[in-house]
A and B are shown apart, each in its own frame.
Chain A
Amino acid sequence: MQLSGFSGNHKITDGWCKEEGMDVSVERKKDTVREQTAEKKYRASENYVYRRIAGSGVLVPVGNQIADFNGYVELNESAGFLWQKLQNPATVEELVQALVKEYGIPQQQAAEDFDEFLQMMQAHKMVEVQ
């Protein structure tokens, strides 16, 4: 599983973007997001719409979010799975468990992959904390 395959502005079409690409190189912190945020609930931002385009999952910014990012983001399968789970508020633990169950991977790997995913999501205001 490769959550960090999540990336910005893949060429789905001969796309145009105000920004050339999205910076996904968020520095990993020593403490994992999971440890810091065990009790918080997360939810997908309403400022992004998830679309299926030619077999790929794509997030399109809408509303005034385009002032910060006017492009699109392609999600790989597992990131798309998490995005669907984030349609309802969920804790980190719940989301990690969902990954373990869906993909049959070890808990530790799921937790590490999710940390990376969540940091990128937060850095670009794609999730909201409730």
Chain B
Amino acid sequence: MDCGRIDQKLHGLPPRYPMDGTFELTVRCNLHCRMCLFRHDDSENMEICARELSADEWIDLGRQAAEAGTFSLLLTGGEPMLRKDFCEIYEGIYRLGFQLTLYTNATLVTDKVMNTLRRYPPHRIGITIYGASADTYEKVCGNPAGFEQMVEGVDRLKTLPSVIDFRTTIIRDNYEDVDKIEQLIHDRWDEKQTLTQTRIVTKAVRGACADAAGCRLSPEENVRLAYRRGIRLIKEYVGSEYDEKNLGLEYQNSAENSEGSDSPRPTLLGCDAGMSSYTISWDGKLLACQMLGVFQKDVREQPFQKAWEEFPATVKLPALHSDCRNCSGREICSCCYASRFAETGDLGGKPEYVCSDTRIIQKLLGNEER
């Protein structure tokens, strides 16, 4: 290990606190969504089960994370409730006093799970809905029964005092359902609740098996959908008389594009990942972000705090593709190192799907010259 280099790297960084954690309890899932970022092929499940962190290991990691100063913790998957020891893990971690969020597809909300959640309600629950009918659930998730299971599960989760968020990912197979999903939410659960949609469907990461490129919307369809829903949301807030011609672009200020900025924010990867947020993967790897497995420290082999402190030394970034460095749209481009790697297999690669998205937005909003 080159200690001099590590010291040099760390010296240039502001204090890093691991405040926002994600515990990926498993990558297994009872649904088989065509665009899933994280689920591996079922043929790997036996091996995955053998390598997953145990309940005791998760609870111990929770204790270490709490001591290191983690405040917000997301429990996610795969589908976390698929684990037979989910309740044990959940209860052990809950008692440590995190501000806890639970992500679920709501299809496995059993009596046992509800008994645990009633005693220890998460502060927030993110529920992903993939369609508004059994037919759509079959097309997207390979499981028509998933729709009714989800509806019953949400009915139960809505009895908790937790804040509930609804989320979705739209591909070709549920493109026609997006408004129906929102209608279902409004009619059955909460008329004021909004539906958060994944902005860009990225290719699967870290060994996952989905063929996202084969089922996601074309860049044109995707931008049109986001634009239509975005404008509708704006009009709900400010009134139907809002003139969408006034819509401008919010320019970002990330490390990748901060040239010329007066006070660039020091980061490892252009965002909070590895600076204040992190993920522990299903097999015990400390990652900067659930999307990016290239840089990692093993928290089975060393304490969490040590892994966190040494993590920056693992990060080695290549130069970005020359087209990206010179792109007129780089300030509105939504890609990051994780999505570059997911799309191209290269941390500095040029993700054509995202490029098309950016060009369409520029054209749509008349910002081509900026």
Set of chain B residues within 8 Å of A52, measured between Cβ atoms: 69
Contact indicator B161/A67 (Cβ below 8 Å): yes
Contact indicator A51/B97 (Cβ below 8 Å): yes
Set of chain B residues within 8 Å of A72, measured between Cβ atoms: 71, 99
Complex partner residue of A66 from B20, B71, B121, CB under 8 angstroms:
B121
A49 and B95 alpha carbons, distance in the complex (Å): 8
A52 and B67 alpha carbons, distance in the complex (Å): 8
Task: Kindly provide the distance from the CB of B116 to the nearest chain A CB, expressed in whole angstroms.
Answer: 12
A12 and B72 alpha carbons, distance in the complex (Å): 10
Of the candidate stretches A53-61, A75-83, A105-113, the one touching chain B is A53-61
B149 sits at the interface (CB 8 A): no
B19 sits at the interface (CB 8 A): yes
Set of chain A residues within 8 Å of B162, measured between Cβ atoms: 66, 70
Contact indicator B71/A12 (Cβ below 8 Å): yes
Set of chain A residues within 8 Å of B97, measured between Cβ atoms: 49-51, 60, 62
Contact indicator B17/A54 (Cβ below 8 Å): yes
A67 and B163 alpha carbons, distance in the complex (Å): 9
Of the candidate stretches A13-21, A34-42, A95-103, A121-129, the one touching chain B is A13-21
Contact indicator A60/B120 (Cβ below 8 Å): no
Query: Assuming A66-B123, A67-B161, A70-B163, is B19 touching A49 (CB within 8 A)?
Result: no
A60 and B71 alpha carbons, distance in the complex (Å): 9
B364 sits at the interface (CB 8 A): no
Task: Kindly provide the distance from the CB of B208 to the nearest chain A CB, expressed in whole angstroms.
Answer: 28
Contact indicator B96/A53 (Cβ below 8 Å): no
Closest to B72 in A: A13
Query: Assuming A12-B19, A64-B161, is B124 touching A53 (CB within 8 A)?
Result: no
A63 and B94 alpha carbons, distance in the complex (Å): 9
Contact indicator B66/A70 (Cβ below 8 Å): no
Contact indicator A13/B123 (Cβ below 8 Å): no
Set of chain B residues within 8 Å of A70, measured between Cβ atoms: 123, 161-163
B120-133 vs A, CB cutoff 8 Å, 1 = contact: the mask equals 11011000000000
A60 and B93 alpha carbons, distance in the complex (Å): 14
Closest to A66 in B: B161
Closest to B101 in A: A16
Complex partner residue of A16 from B121, B124, B276, CB under 8 angstroms:
B124
Complex partner residue of B96 from A13, A49, A66, CB under 8 angstroms:
A49
Set of chain B residues within 8 Å of A60, measured between Cβ atoms: 71, 97-99
Set of chain A residues within 8 Å of B19, measured between Cβ atoms: 12-13, 53-54
B119 sits at the interface (CB 8 A): yes
A12 and B69 alpha carbons, distance in the complex (Å): 11
A12 and B17 alpha carbons, distance in the complex (Å): 11
A53 and B96 alpha carbons, distance in the complex (Å): 13
Set of chain B residues within 8 Å of A18, measured between Cβ atoms: 123, 163
Set of chain A residues within 8 Å of B72, measured between Cβ atoms: 13, 15
Contact indicator B163/A51 (Cβ below 8 Å): no
Q: Which residues of chain B (274-292) have a CB below 8 Å from chain A? A: 276
Closest to A51 in B: B97
Task: Kindly provide the distance from the CB of A118 to the nearest chain B CB, expressed in whole angstroms.
Answer: 22
Complex partner residue of A63 from B99, B121, B124, B276, CB under 8 angstroms:
B121
Query: Assuming A12-B71, A16-B124, is B276 touching A62 (CB within 8 A)?
Result: no
Set of chain B residues within 8 Å of A67, measured between Cβ atoms: 161
Contact indicator B71/A53 (Cβ below 8 Å): yes
Task: Kindly provide the distance from the CB of B91 to the nearest chain A CB, expressed in whole angstroms.
Answer: 11
A54 and B276 alpha carbons, distance in the complex (Å): 10
Interface positions of A (Cβ within 8 A of B)? 12-13, 15-16, 18, 49-54, 58, 60, 62-64, 66-67, 70, 72
Interface positions of B (Cβ within 8 A of A)? 17, 19-20, 66, 69, 71-72, 94-99, 119-121, 123-124, 161-163, 276
A-B contact pairs, 9 of them (CB 8 A): A12-B19, A13-B71, A13-B276, A16-B163, A51-B71, A53-B69, A70-B163, A72-B71, A72-B99
Q: A18-B123, A62-B97, A70-B161 are in contact. List 13 more A-B contacts (CB 8 A).
A: A16-B163, A49-B97, A50-B97, A51-B66, A52-B69, A54-B69, A60-B97, A62-B94, A63-B120, A64-B161, A70-B162, A70-B163, A72-B99
Nearest 3 pairs of A and B residues by beta carbon:
A49-B97, A67-B161, A54-B17
